[in-house]
Structure 1
Amino acid sequence: MTRPAPLPDAVLAALRCPLCGRPCTLDGRALRCPSRHSFDLAKQGYVNLLHAGVPAGTADTAEMVAARMAFLGAGHYARLRDLIAGITAEAAGDGLVVDAGAGTGYYLAGVLDRLPEATGLALDVSALALRRAAKAHPRLGAAVWNLWEPWPVASGAAAVVLNVFAPRNGPEFHRVLRPDGTLLVVSPERGHLAELASLAPVLDVDERKEERLDAALSAHFALASREGLRERVTLKPQEIRDAVRMGPTGHHPERLTALADVTEPAEVTLAFSLSVYRRKT
């Protein structure tokens, strides 16, 4: 799906210059602020606002992005996407939805499909992923940014912040959300993809993960609700390889050698936790 303009108006209004914090305007194929800082839009439609590098192994590689596109395109996380969209629809209305760690924009595009008046801003440190996100939906704008740094987003700009398998910056979640804003955090539950542990290192989820999540966000947010999603799916050999390569293990290709020997389908567990938080004043 292609977009009619490089950045939706609501996204442009929410973005701030990462160097001076002032609003930006679109001048041809560049964002410019009154201090004359300028950031070119890539031909794929996203804007890179980073003014410093990120540590190696932080951003998704081309191989990881390709694996994620293939795996998500097969529909294995479609129920999760629909559940995220349903929860977000109750809170966002016609406001701005900021996806912190949006990757290829799969979940944010699903939200925007459900909300015809809303706009989405995809933030991610991987320019390779945002090449895909920028084209995922016509009401989606994408900006490269390191989520651990103060975000180039106006305070109180977002109706909802999504955080799906991504770094969590509680103070910035709180700052960019409007007073009645909602934070939705999605994380794996214990047992997620556990059947693949014999093939390559996969995430071993701490059984106290939700307790630690609540504690980490408690200074700025109160837990409103939580629900889980668990299902069994059968993955083909290539889908097994994609499921492992699209995650953190994808940064360590030396750990993926056993995947070459996978020749049979496997039934695996998908397990997710969806936590809704309300912003504290």
Structure 2
Amino acid sequence: MAVPRSLPAVLSALRCPLCGRELALSGSALRCPQRHTFNIARQGYLSLLADAKARSGDDDAMMLARDRFLGSGAYVPLRDAVVQAALGESGAPQPHGADGAHIVDAGSGSGYYLAGVLAVNEEAETAGWGFGFDSAVRGARLTAKCHPRAVAATWDAFRPFPLADRCADIVLDIFSPRNPAEFARILAPGGRLVVAHPRADHLAELRAAVPDMVGIDPEKERRLHAALDPLFTEDHRQELAFEVALTPDRAADLIGMTPSARHVSAADRSERLAAEGALPAAVTAAVTVSRWEPR
């Protein structure tokens, strides 16, 4: 087991999930003064969820499909929009610590978007660190490898975060569950929350070709504001729409990385998408990227 390179920097922000006390490195584990102990897996992520059961989460096949799809570069425009919203025109928020911006990715998946934000100004001495957590073990494994300054853990976004108050300068919530009270608690003064969620016409061409895919909740925008407005003010919004060229393999991964994977089997996906004329040449990704400041 190799201790993650950035763990010493992140350690002061971490808290014991059981008692809320500070955690310290003890061999190949983290331990609090109450002697609650959490292993560092040999793949480099922190096993903070331990035996607790997450309320939701992607399985291995979904996470690997997401990693392949994002690795193809298909969602680079979305990653760039997330980076722009997170860092703003100045290139970064005013960090509350001397070591640069602290970035938390809640529901980090493969760490793709966290790595995109961390890659900016990565040569600077005060480049900061990133902490990403996901309820899926495969997601934590991938996030642990996404960038040298990233630390990953297993954790459920619906639970109180294992993080100190006001420890983060940027919180990312990209196609992930939202926990507004925890976002507000961990953000330092002047911090930013960046949210990306699909619009009603997201992947419409593919949904037309594969009717069993899960639809987009038409109330998603209203529910987002109902959850965040009491605690945050929206100060940036981008309605993003871009084309993604499709091949049968890419389309299968695009379906397989979403909740639609639970409704359209892998075999069914391959058979339908390989049929002549079944697959649109391209699909439109329609996503809203917004930035919020704590009230």
The two structures have a TM-score, normalised by structure 1, of: 0.92
Mean Cα displacement is larger for which, 213-222 or 236-245? 213-222
Cα separation, partners in 2 of 1:245 and 1:200, compared to 1, 3 Å: farther
Matches within 5 A, 1:111-260: 111-116=117-122, 117-197=127-207, 198-252=209-263, 254=265, 257-260=268-271
Query: Distance between the aligned counterparts of 2:268 and 2:58, measured in 1?
Result: 19
Does the residue aligned with 1:223 lie in a helix, a strand or coil? strand
Query: Distance between the aligned counterparts of 2:221 and 2:267, measured in 1?
Result: 29
Does the residue aligned with 1:114 lie in a helix, a strand or coil? coil
Q: Give the letter aligned to residue 76 of structure 1.
A: A
Cα separation, partners in 2 of 1:251 and 1:12, compared to 1, 3 Å: farther
Q: Cα offset for 1:10?
A: 2.8
User: Tell me, which stretches of 5 or more residues in structure 2 are unaligned?
Assistant: none
The two structures have a TM-score, normalised by structure 2, of: 0.88
Does the residue aligned with 1:181 lie in a helix, a strand or coil? strand
Q: Cα offset for 1:222?
A: 1.1
Q: Give the letter aligned to residue 205 of structure 2.
A: E
Does the residue aligned with 2:12 lie in a helix, a strand or coil? helix
Query: Distance between the aligned counterparts of 1:147 and 1:218, measured in 2?
Result: 19
1:5 counterpart residue number: 4
Q: Give the letter aligned to residue 248 of structure 2.
A: P
How many residue pairs align between the two structures?
276
1:18 counterpart residue number: 17
Does the residue aligned with 1:213 lie in a helix, a strand or coil? helix
Q: Cα offset for 1:61?
A: 1.2
User: Tell me, which stretches of 5 or more residues in structure 1 are unaligned?
Assistant: none
Stretches of 4+ aligned residues off by more than 6 angstroms: none
Q: Give the letter aligned to residue 71 of structure 2.
A: G
Percent identity of equivalent pairs: 41
Matches within 5 A, 1:25-174: 25-50=24-49, 51-55=51-55, 58-90=56-88, 91-92=92-93, 93=95, 94-116=100-122, 117-174=127-184
Cα separation, partners in 2 of 1:146 and 1:103, compared to 1, 3 Å: same
Are 1:6 and 1:46, in contact at CA under 8 Å, matched by a contact in 2?
A: no
Cα separation, partners in 2 of 1:203 and 1:254, compared to 1, 3 Å: closer
Cα separation, partners in 2 of 1:252 and 1:27, compared to 1, 3 Å: farther
Does the residue aligned with 1:48 lie in a helix, a strand or coil? coil
